Chain A
C-alpha cells in the first residue's frame, strides 16, 4: 500500500491545481493581476446576476429547511390551522418504537445497499471501461435503468416477483416461488436488490469514466512487469480510483436516505414495518396519519443524519479533496 500512495498524491495535487494553473500556464501572472483589479471593484459582474438563483433556492429549499424545524414544534393535521405545541411532537416521535425501527431499517438498507452496490459498480465500471466491442454493446443495455423512473421500476418488479405469475412460475423453480414482498424476512432484501438494480448503473457510469482516465502507460508498465489482469486491477485500477470511490460512496450512502418512491410503491413500508425506512415513515406519519408536527420532527432527524454523513465521508476523503472540489476540480 505504502508504495502506491506517493504517485497517487501527486496526481491529486496536479489535479487540484489544474483549473487555475496548468490550464493556461503562459498567462498565469496576468490573470492574477487582472483578478486583483477586478476585486478592487471595477467591473466584475454584479451580485444581481446570482440573485434569481439565490432567491429561488432560498424560497423553496432554505426556507423549507427552516420550516421543517419550526413545524416540528407545532401541531398540524395538514388542513386546519396550526398551533404551537412545544416539544410534544418530539416526545411522540422519540418515544415511538416505530421511529427506532425506521432508523434500524434505514441503517440496514444503507449498509447492505452499500456492500452490494460498491463492489459490483467498481467491477462493472472497470469492465465497461475496456474498449472491446462486446463490452461497448453490453454497456448500452447496462445503462437503460438510468432512464426509468422509480415508479416504473417498482411496478415492473412487483409484477415480476409475483409468486404465481412471475419469475418463479416462469422458471419452474419452487425456490423462487416465494411471496417476495409479503414475507417480512425477504421483503427487505428484495428492496435492497431492486435498489441495486436501479442505482448500480449510475455508479458503473461514474467508474467507467474514472477508469478511462487512468493513464494507459501504467498498465503497460505493469504488463511488462508480468502483472495479470487481476493484479493490475488491485494494484493500479483500485488505488487510482480512490477519489472516485469516495465520491461514489458518499452518493450511495447519502442517497440511501432518499429511497422513497421505489419502496413506497413496492411495499409501502410493509409487510408490517419491515421496509419502512425513515423518509417513508416521515411521509406516512405526515400524509397518512395526518400528524405533520411529528413528521417534521422526523424530517429534522433526516436532515441531521444526511448532513452528518456527508460531512463524515468528506472528512474521510481528506481536506485536500474538499478544497479541490470547491475550486472546481
Chain B
C-alpha cells in the first residue's frame, strides 16, 4: 500500500526521470522499455486511485465511512446511497442535461455544417471574413463574457430556462466546429461538386446529397466533442439558472454536496451516477469518442 503514496505526492518526478537518463543507457533492439513501463504503471495508479476511492466509498454506509479504513472496500456494500440520490430527482436533472446537450449539439452541427460548406465552396469576401472571424473566436475565453451574457439573458426574460443554457453553448461551439469541418470539407473532390452542378443540382441539394455523406465522420466527431463539453458544462448553468426544475447534472452535483455535506458516501454516489452515462458511452464507442476529442488538434 505504501508504494502508492510516492506517485501521488510527486507525479512529475516519477515520470520525468524516464527522460532524464543519459541517452546511451539502453541500446537493446526490442528490449522492453522498463522505465517507460514503470512510469506507465505509476500513472495508472494516480488515475485509478481517486476513481477507486469514489466507487468504494459510494457503497459504504455512513457509519462505515467514519469507522473503516478509507481505502478498503466496504465489508457489507450497500446501494442505499444510490437509491437516495435517485430519489432526489436525479431523473429530472438527467433529462435536463439531455435536453440541453441534444438541443445544443443538433443546431451546432446544422449551422456549422452549412457555414463550413459555404466557406469552403464559396469565394466571396464576406465568407472569407466570416472564416477569419471564427478563427479569431477561438482565442476568446468564454469565462470573460459571463457578465454580459447574464445581462442579456435576464433582460430577455430567459433567466432560469434551459434555452438560456442552449443559446450561448451553441455560439461558443461554433468557431472550433466550423474549423474542424472545414478540414474535412476541403477534402471532398471538387470534380464531384462540378459534375453535380452540371446535372443541375442546387447548392442546397449538393449540401445534402454530396457533402453530407462525405463529411459525416467529421460531424460525428464534432458532435461528440461538443456534446461532451455541453454535458459537463458548469459555468453557464451556475450563472444562468437557479431553480431545481432546470438544474443540469453538474450543477445538481454541486447543489447536492452543499445540501448533504455530511453524507460523503451519498455525495460520491451522486458523482458516480452523473458520470455513468458517459462511461457507458466510453465502453461502447471508445475509439470514436477519443478520435472525436482530438479532431482538429492532433494534426
Contacts of A295 in B (CB 8 A): 147
User: In this assembly, does B284 line the interface, its C-beta being within 8 Å of a C-beta of chain A?
Assistant: no
- Bound state CA distance, A226 and B24, in angstroms? 9
- Knowing A156-B50, A234-B23, the reply to whether A61 touches B171 (Cβ < 8 A) is yes
- Knowing A63-B152, A231-B24, the reply to whether A205 touches B12 (Cβ < 8 A) is no
Contact across chains for A53 and B71 when beta carbons are under 8 A apart: no
Contact across chains for A244 and B282 when beta carbons are under 8 A apart: no
Contact across chains for A159 and B174 when beta carbons are under 8 A apart: no
Within 8 A of B (CB), among A143-161: 143-152, 155-160
Which one, A130, A150, A196, A202, contacts B234 given CB within 8 A? A150
Contact across chains for B274 and A50 when beta carbons are under 8 A apart: no
Contacts of A145 in B (CB 8 A): 47
User: In this assembly, does A215 line the interface, its C-beta being within 8 Å of a C-beta of chain B?
Assistant: no
User: In this assembly, does A260 line the interface, its C-beta being within 8 Å of a C-beta of chain B?
Assistant: yes
- Bound state CA distance, A213 and B72, in angstroms? 43
Which one, A35, A144, A210, contacts B47 given CB within 8 A? A144
User: In this assembly, does B74 line the interface, its C-beta being within 8 Å of a C-beta of chain A?
Assistant: no
User: In this assembly, does B290 line the interface, its C-beta being within 8 Å of a C-beta of chain A?
Assistant: yes
Which one, B43, B145, B282, contacts A61 given CB within 8 A? B145
Contact across chains for A282 and B143 when beta carbons are under 8 A apart: yes
- Bound state CA distance, A216 and B170, in angstroms? 41
Size class of the B contact interface (CB-based, 8 Å):
35 or more
User: In this assembly, does A182 line the interface, its C-beta being within 8 Å of a C-beta of chain B?
Assistant: no
User: In this assembly, does B127 line the interface, its C-beta being within 8 Å of a C-beta of chain A?
Assistant: yes
Contact across chains for B189 and A159 when beta carbons are under 8 A apart: no
- Bound state CA distance, A228 and B179, in angstroms? 39
Which one, A47, A144, A150, A328, contacts B127 given CB within 8 A? A47
Contacts of B122 in A (CB 8 A): 38, 44-47, 49-50
Specify which of B118, B143, B144, B183 lies most central, judged by the most chain A CB atoms within 10 Å of its CB. Answer: B144
Within 8 A of A (CB), among B47-78: 47-51, 53-54, 57, 65-66, 69-72
User: In this assembly, does B278 line the interface, its C-beta being within 8 Å of a C-beta of chain A?
Assistant: yes
Contacts of B49 in A (CB 8 A): 160, 167
Contact across chains for B139 and A147 when beta carbons are under 8 A apart: no
User: In this assembly, does A318 line the interface, its C-beta being within 8 Å of a C-beta of chain B?
Assistant: no
Contact across chains for B144 and A299 when beta carbons are under 8 A apart: yes
Contact across chains for A49 and B279 when beta carbons are under 8 A apart: no
Contacts of B53 in A (CB 8 A): 156, 159-160, 166-167, 170
User: In this assembly, does A269 line the interface, its C-beta being within 8 Å of a C-beta of chain B?
Assistant: no
**Closest Cβ–Cβ distance, residue B9 to chain A (whole Å):** 8
Contact across chains for A165 and B70 when beta carbons are under 8 A apart: yes
User: In this assembly, does B239 line the interface, its C-beta being within 8 Å of a C-beta of chain A?
Assistant: yes
User: In this assembly, does B134 line the interface, its C-beta being within 8 Å of a C-beta of chain A?
Assistant: yes
- Knowing A52-B111, A144-B282, A171-B2, the reply to whether A287 touches B234 (Cβ < 8 A) is no
Contacts of B228 in A (CB 8 A): 146-147
**Closest Cβ–Cβ distance, residue A14 to chain B (whole Å):** 13
Extra 4 A-B pairs, beta carbons < 8 Å, given A59-B171, A130-B33, A141-B47 = A24-B190, A116-B12, A228-B23, A299-B147
19 residue pairs bridging A and B, Cβ less than 8 Å apart: A27-B189, A50-B130, A52-B110, A53-B111, A53-B115, A65-B145, A127-B40, A147-B289, A151-B232, A152-B250, A152-B274, A160-B53, A170-B69, A171-B2, A173-B2, A209-B294, A299-B144, A300-B144, A328-B186
List chain B positions with a Cβ less than 8 A from chain A.
Answer: 1-2, 4-5, 8-9, 11-12, 15-16, 18-19, 21-29, 31, 33, 36-37, 39-41, 43-44, 46-51, 53-54, 57, 65-66, 69-72, 107, 110-112, 114-115, 117-119, 121-124, 126-127, 130, 133-135, 137-152, 167-168, 170-172, 174-175, 178-179, 182-183, 186-187, 189-191, 194, 197, 203, 207, 228, 231-235, 238-239, 249-251, 253-254, 257, 264, 267-268, 271, 274-275, 278-279, 281-282, 286, 289-290, 293-294, 297-299
List chain A positions with a Cβ less than 8 A from chain B.
Answer: 19-20, 23-24, 27, 30-31, 34-35, 38-39, 43-50, 52-54, 56-57, 59-68, 70-71, 76, 78, 115-116, 119-120, 123-124, 126-128, 130, 134-135, 138, 140-152, 155-160, 162, 165-167, 169-171, 173, 175-176, 193, 196-197, 201-202, 205-206, 209-210, 213, 223, 226-231, 233-235, 244, 247-248, 251, 254, 257-258, 260-261, 264-265, 279, 282-283, 286-287, 292, 295-296, 299-300, 302-303, 306-307, 310-311, 326, 328-329
Q: Which 3 A-B pairs have the closest CB atoms?
A: A67-B148, A170-B71, A60-B171
